[in-house]
Structure 1
Amino acid sequence: MRITLLTHERELHRKTNTGALALAQCGNLVERVVWARREPDPALVTSIEAGEAVLVYPAADSAPARLEDFSHVILIDATWQEARKIYNRSPYLQGSPQVAIESDAASSYRLRRNQPDGGLCTAECVIEILRRHGEDTAADRLEAAFTQFNQAPHSQA
């Protein structure tokens, strides 16, 4: 099981970035690749082309996939607006199998504005992915850290 956070460069400096929390709490299960429009990460493209990876993205025109069928999961780590830009400007992502994560509970993330209904932040998505792959210890550790992080004072981004 491997989760790749395809991170917009602006996220690297945001205090409200929950992707950094997932990286810190989940050891070797989560890795970060900084998105580069003109130079996509070769290993990421190869994994997609080989059918090994699934993208977590709620694209309406994508063929649905089952998250549990893939050991490599790609998650765009950015604001919702930046995530759309990354997806729209990355043809290799558009051709990948895709899955939307639906949760019974609403997002508890309150540190950013303009969150769409039903949308989860990066840490919440990682927790859900870990649970669906039987990585409950890592999911519990990240969930506890996220709860504490979400209650701490941060400036909104």
Structure 2
Amino acid sequence: MKITLLTHQRELDRKTNTGALALACCGALVERVVWERRNPDPALVEAVERGEAALVYPIDSDHDAQLEDFNRVILIDATWQEARKIYNHSPYLKAAPKFAISTETASSYRLRRNQPEGGLCTAECVMAILHRIGKRKAATRLGAAFESFNISPGTQPTKTN
């Protein structure tokens, strides 16, 4: 399974971006696609149209998608406000099967304000997905890096393959 971070352009230069941390720690399991409103990534759109990709997105409806049924998981890598903009301006994301990640613990991410209750940062979502699909070593590696990053933002580990 591939985790695709659909990243808002502004996230690329933010020291508090945990998507970059997931990319560095998880090798080929995680990839980044920069979101473009007018020119969406054709492979991503096709994956959704073929029913091969599901979107992680917290909405107020039934989530009948099962993570294990998909080859690709799309995770919006942006602030909460930017994530809503990406979703609202991307018809292919609205058409994608959706599932939510629920955890019993609150987010430990403290580097940004306006975290909604129950909301997780990108790295925490990636860790939850990795645990669910049995990639425990990658999840543990990302978790250790996230702990350090959460104390000292901008500290990126060496990229792994």
**TM-score relative to the length of structure 1:** 0.95
Cα offset, 1:62, TM superposition: 6.2
Distance 2:44 2:72 in 1: 10
Whether the aligned pair in 2 keeps the contact of 1:62 and 1:97 (CA below 8 Å) is: no
1:66-145 alignment, distance < 5 Å: 66-145=66-145
Aligned length: 154
1:53 aligns with 2:53: yes
Alignment root-mean-square deviation, CA: 1.2
Which amino acid letter does the alignment assign opposite residue 20 of structure 1? A
Cα offset, 1:151, TM superposition: 1.2
Cα offset, 1:61, TM superposition: 4.2
What does the per-residue CA deviation read over 1:6-65, in whole Å, with 9 as the maximum and x for residues that have no partner? Answer: 000000010000000000000000000000000000000010000001100012246531
Which amino acid letter does the alignment assign opposite residue 100 of structure 2? A
Give the SS at the match of 1:26.
helix
2:150 alignment partner in structure 1: 150
Distance 1:75 1:62 in 2: 18
2:23 alignment partner in structure 1: 23
Whether the aligned pair in 2 keeps the contact of 1:9 and 1:34 (CA below 8 Å) is: yes
Cα offset, 1:153, TM superposition: 5.4
1:8 aligns with 2:8: yes
Whether the aligned pair in 1 keeps the contact of 2:15 and 2:153 (CA below 8 Å) is: no
What does the per-residue CA deviation read over 1:94-128, in whole Å, with 9 as the maximum and x for residues that have no partner? Answer: 00000110011100000000000000000000000
Cα offset, 1:68, TM superposition: 2.3
Unaligned stretches of 5+ residues in structure 1: none
- Of all paired residues, the percent bearing the same amino acid is 70
Change (3 A) 1:153 1:122: closer
Give the SS at the match of 2:22.
helix
Change (3 A) 1:80 1:27: same
Distance 1:17 1:153 in 2: 8
